[in-house]
Amino acid sequence: MRKIIITALHAEAKPFIEFFNLKKSNLFAKIPFYSGEPVSLCVSGIGKMRSAIATASLLAQEKEPHNVVVFNIGICGSTTKEVNLGELFFVNKVIDHGSGRSYYPDIVIEHNLPESQLMTFDKPVTQLDFPQEYKGLVDMEASGFFEAALTFLSPHQVVCLKIVSDFLEGEVINKAKVSGLVERNMEAINGIISSYDALCSFLATDVLDANEHSLLEQLSMHFRLTFSQYHQLIEWARSYKIHKKGSLEILRQYLQYSVSDKRERNNYLEKLRSLLLDE
Amino acid sequence: MSKFSHIYIEDEALGYPISTRILERFPNAKRVWIGDYKEVFGRLNQHFQIQKRSVKLILAVKKGGYLYRGSDFSQGFGYKNFYYNTLMLNCVYNCDYCYLQGMYPSANMVLFVNLEDFFEATRKAVAERKYKSEPLYLSVSYNTDLLAFESVVPYTAYWIEFADACDDLLIEVRTKSANYKAIKHLKATPRVILAWTLSPRKVAEVYEKGAPSLDRRLEAIREAMEDGWQVRLCFDPVLRIRNWNYVYTDFMEEVFRYLPVEKVYDVSLGVFRMNADYLRRIRKLRQDSDILFYPFEVRGDTVSYPLLHRKEMISSLLEKLTQYIPEERIAVWE
Ligand code: SF4
């Protein structure tokens, strides 16, 4: 399972780069990207638009999107002092202040972190700016991250972790402090990231492996199957493997026969069907 | 029993006593406020089987659609005023063959808390039913298993009490639950049919994940029969597993050895079938269950075993069943 962290600031990324020993890569000209194991990381820049662009750019080129989890991790403000500075939250609902739209991750792992909702604003806010009735965390990226990530992934593959850095009282937070907040929560964050490994086995994986797909493709070319016949053959092969628990090698012998017209092709196709499906 | 890490609550649902009761029952569940249940339940790209690992509960207020007209005359029992309702969406069990995996976008459970609106609509439908010589027949455990959720919210009990007090209403509670004790305190009423789905021991173990064993279901049924309830036995879906004929006939013998045959209200028998689109969706999400990859035949928008196989299965099992139950009390889907 591939894991990708997206932070807004370099100061948020730095502790991860050091902790996971990530290497700078030139994947994108304008979006700093760091690769490594078990995570890669990308610094999107500030604001929901930048977060969305970085997230979408990364996910658009994923070859196995079902095998990825993305994490938006960073600092945030809090409208309430009922939480502690430096406290790490698992975000369970993101509200975009501009559109009023809500986003919900599927939290399918067990964890011990406190959870909270979070509202994403277009510009920095202070206590005076946000709706009176709203109580929770505040940031400038998460809704863009969710909008982009959910275009490519399922909601259980999208995670948002935020650390409270201020109470929206206009204080300036320097880079060292930002990095310090992330560092102090590194163990907990790493724990969350690791717990996503367990999901791997539950993801839909094709029962047909590359060799079997290649055999089916050869048969398809050999008998000049139409597109829909080819896909039918794949379905039958899956059914054979799962239902009858047999090996597809029994099909290989058919590569020695050749067909000259449509009728012959259909006859062979019927033979394959019968071999794979009949009781 | 069910444990929920998260409860999603529609703002509007909070004022209902059932919501209060549930929130008290799960004090440690994280609460997330939502405007409308579809915001969560209807999200795109949810993964049904991954969500089954950690099912969330959604408390919602249903706005309209308190009962629906059934299309198939209650699977052959011939009730003319056949209706069903959806008090909950989804089920605590996770049967491999369950069509809900293909029908709903999510495995999370939605519980509608405005029960009074359902009752009111049902009273009205009873009064306005088309065929006045027959009762209104209402299936209350339709896209869910209501009795399996009884320890969280006693909807089965509420509906039994409601039906008992409502002339011209007959309700069916279909279940795989063994939790009969949750309704044992109620007096048996002819306005209720308790319908238990039964499968051979091995089938229940392998393909009905989370559901009680055959033995526990049989014990619950026997107790319900002894208490005077009308009990329907549903041998449905019958699966074409290896040696299906022996497995199912042995199983039926065992069932009727254990249960007093004369107390069986009626029986339904049906082979596995599913909407073709649902099956396509399910196969995309999971390739771990052999019964879903049987080489089915498509008939209209339904998939099932090829006609010859269906006929073979039904005739063999019907023959077995009629050794115990008169044919007119057996409804068949083939
Ligand atoms: S008991 Fe019925 S509703 Fe529940 S999972 Fe099984 S088939 Fe589906």
Q: Give the pLDDT confidence of A219-231 residue by residue, as tens digits.
A: 999 999 999 899 8
Tell me the per-residue pLDDT of B273-284, one tens digit each, with 9 for 90 and over: 999 999 999 998
Q: How much is the average pLDDT of A87-116?
A: 97
Nearest to B218 by CA among B258, B268, B261, B252: B258
Q: Return the best residue to mutate from B98, B143, B209 for the ligand 1 pocket (most ligand atoms within 8 A of CB).
A: B98
Q: Do A92 and B54 touch (CB under 8 A)?
A: no
Positive/negative CA dihedral, A83, A87, A93, A94: positive
R_g of chain B, CA atoms, integer Å: 20
Cα separation, A68 vs A2, whole angstroms: 5
Mean pLDDT of chain B: 95
Place of tokens 């969305």: A52
Residue B78's pLDDT is 81
The alpha-carbon radius of gyration of chain A (Å, integer) is 25
> CB-CB: which of A104, A238, A277 is closest to B40?
A104
Whether residue A115 sits in one domain with residue A57: yes
Give residue for tokens 């039904």.
B314
Amino acid at B280: R
Global pTM value: 0.93
The string of pLDDT tens digits covering residues A192-202 is 999 998 776 55
Give B3's pLDDT tier (boundaries 50, 70, 90). confident
Reference A233, options A258, A210, A257, A208; nearest CA is: A208
Kindly tell me if the per-residue pLDDT of A180 is higher than 70: yes
Same domain, A194 and A215: no
Checking if the pLDDT of A131 tops 70, the result is: no
Angle A10-19/A186-195 helices, nearest 10 degrees?
A: 70
The pLDDT of residue B75 is 57
Kindly state the greatest CA–CA separation across chain B.
56
Residues 6+ apart with CB under 8 A from B132: none
The pLDDT of A259-263, averaged and rounded, is: 89
pLDDT at B287: 86
Of B75, B100, B140, B235, the one to substitute when testing ligand 1's pocket (max ligand atoms within 8 A of C-beta) is: B100
Closest partner CB to A155 (pick from B32, B46, B309): B46
pLDDT, one tens digit per residue, over A231-257 is: 889 989 988 988 888 899 999 999 998
| Closest CA relative to residue A96, chosen from A123, A69, A119 | A119
Lookup: tokens for B59: 């408390």
Contacts of A19 (CB under 8 A, 6+ apart): A186, A190
Query: Does A203 lie at the interface with B, CB-CB under 8 angstroms?
Result: yes
Within this chain, do residues A106 and A199 fall inside the same structural domain, yes or no? yes
Determine if ligand 1 sits within 6 Å of the CB of residue B12. Answer: no
How far apart CA B135 and CA B127 sit, in angstroms, is: 10
Q: Are A55 and A144 in contact (CB under 8 A)?
A: yes
Q: Are residues A143 and A264 in the same domain?
A: no
Chain-chain contact of A117 with B6 (C-beta, under 8 angstroms)? no
The whole-number average pLDDT for the span B23-52 is 96
What local confidence, expressed as pLDDT, does residue A200 receive?
63
The CATH code that applies to domain B63-86+115-333 is 3.80.30.30
- Chain A neighbours among B 248-287 (CB < 8 Å)? 283-287
Buried b (16+ CB within 10 A) or exposed e, B4-30: bbbbbbbebbeebebbeebeeebeebb
Alpha-carbon span B61 to A98, nearest angstrom: 27
The 10s digit of each residue's pLDDT in B98-122 is 999 999 999 999 999 999 999 999 9
Q: How far is the CA of B203 from the centre of ligand 1 (A)?
A: 13
Q: Do residues B143 and B89 touch, judged by C-beta distance below 8 A?
A: yes
Does A108 contact B53 at a Cβ distance shorter than 8 Å? yes
- Pairwise CB contact (< 8 Å): A93 & B287: no
Q: Check residue B2 and give its pLDDT.
A: 61
User: Cα separation of B30 and A61, whole Å?
Assistant: 35
Say yes or no to pLDDT of A277 above 90. no
Inter-chain contact B295–A239, Cβ cutoff 8 Å? yes
The last residue of a domain, from among A150, A181, A203:
A203
Q: Among A131-135, B21-25, B37-41, B214-218, whose mean pLDDT is lowest?
A: A131-135
Quick check: CB of B177 below 6 Å from ligand 1? Answer: no
Check residue A259 and give its pLDDT. Answer: 87
Which tens digit of pLDDT belongs to each residue from B233-291? Answer: 999 999 999 899 999 999 999 999 999 999 999 999 999 999 999 999 999 888 888 89
CA B155 – CA B111 distance, rounded (Å): 10
Please tell me what DSSP assigns to residue A244: I
- A141 and A257 in a common domain: no
B94 Cα: distance to centroid of ligand 1 (angstroms): 6
Q: How far A15 CA sits from the closest chain B CA (Å)? A: 30
B55 lines ligand 1 (CB under 6 A): no
In angstroms, the first-to-last Cα distance of chain A is: 38
pLDDT of residue B76 exceeding 70: no
The structure tokens listed for A231 are: 């896909």
**CATH code at position A137:** 3.40.50.1580
CB of residue B62 inside a 6 A radius of ligand 1 = no
> Among the three residues A137, A172, A203, which one is the final residue of a domain in this structure?
A203
Q: Tell me: pLDDT of A279 over 90.
A: no
A107 touches chain B (CB under 8 A): yes
Which of B211, B107, B193 is CA-nearest to residue B149?
A: B211
Last residue of a domain, one of A203, A234, A264: A203
H-run or E-run covering A92: strand A88-96
Task: Map tokens 């946000």 to a residue.
Answer: A130
Pair (A124, A221) in one structural domain: no
Is the model's pLDDT at A203 over the cut of 60? no
Number of domains chain A contains: 2
Non-local (6+) Cβ contacts of B188 within 8 A are B227, B228, B229, B230
A47 CB-side CA count, 13 A: 5
Predicted local confidence at residue A198, as pLDDT: 77
Which tops the pLDDT comparison, A63 or A137? Answer: A137
Could you tell me the CA-to-CA distances from B98 to A18, A46, A92, B91, B144 in Å, in that order? Answer: 48, 46, 29, 10, 10
For residues A268 and A149, membership in a common domain is answered with no
Give residues with Cβ within 8 angstroms of A22, minimum separation 6. Answer: A16, A34, A35, A36, A39, A40, A41
The per-residue pLDDT of chain A, averaged, comes to 93
* A190 inside 8 A of chain B by CB: no
Domain match, A222 and A99 both: no
Per cent of chain B over pLDDT 90 is 92
The finding on whether B93 has its CB within 6 A of some atom of ligand 1 is: yes
- Please name the residue ranges forming H helices in B185-306: 201-207, 214-226, 244-258, 276-285
Bridge-based pairing state of the strands B302-304 and B88-89: unpaired
Q: Please, what sign has the CA dihedral across residues B233, B238, B242, B243?
A: positive
A199 CA distance to ligand 1 middle (Å): 24
Q: Is B43 on the interface with A (CB under 8 A)?
A: yes
DSSP annotation of B213 reads: P
Contact check, Cβ <8 Å, A236/B295: yes
> In angstroms, rounded to a whole number, what is the distance separating the alpha carbons of residues B164 and B171?
10
- The number of residues in chain A equals 279
B50: left (phi over 0), alpha (psi -120 to 50) or beta: alpha
Ligand 1 centroid – CA A111 distance (Å)? 29
Q: Which of B51, B84, B93 to mutate to test the pocket of ligand 1 (most atoms within 8 A of CB)?
A: B93
A-B contacts (CB, under 8 Å): 85
User: CA angle, A218 as apex, A212 and A221 as ends, to 5°?
Assistant: 145
Q: Which helix (H) or strand (E) holds B31?
A: strand B30-34
Same structural domain, A153 and A36: yes
Please check the confidence at residue A260 and state whether its pLDDT lies above 70. Answer: yes
Residue A110 and residue B5: Cβ atoms within 8 Å? yes
Task: Determine the pLDDT at residue B333.
Answer: 84
Query: Cα–Cα distance between A257 and A248 in angstroms, integer?
Result: 17
CA distance B304 to B285: 19
Q: What is the pLDDT of residue A118?
A: 98
CA dihedral for B265, B271, B272, B273, sign (positive or negative): negative
The token duo for B189 is: 């009423």
Interface test with B, best of A94, A104, A106 (most B CBs within 10 A): A106
Considering chain B, what percentage of its residues have pLDDT values greater than 70? 98
- Please indicate, yes or no, whether residues A130 and A237 belong to a single structural domain of this protein: no
Peptide bond into A105 cis (omega under 30): no
Tell me: pLDDT of B177 over 60.
yes
- Cβ contact (<8 Å) for A243 and B295? yes
Which residues span the domain enclosing A248? 210-277
- Interchain CB contact of A236 with B (< 8 Å): yes
Tell me: do A219 and A152 sit in the same domain.
no
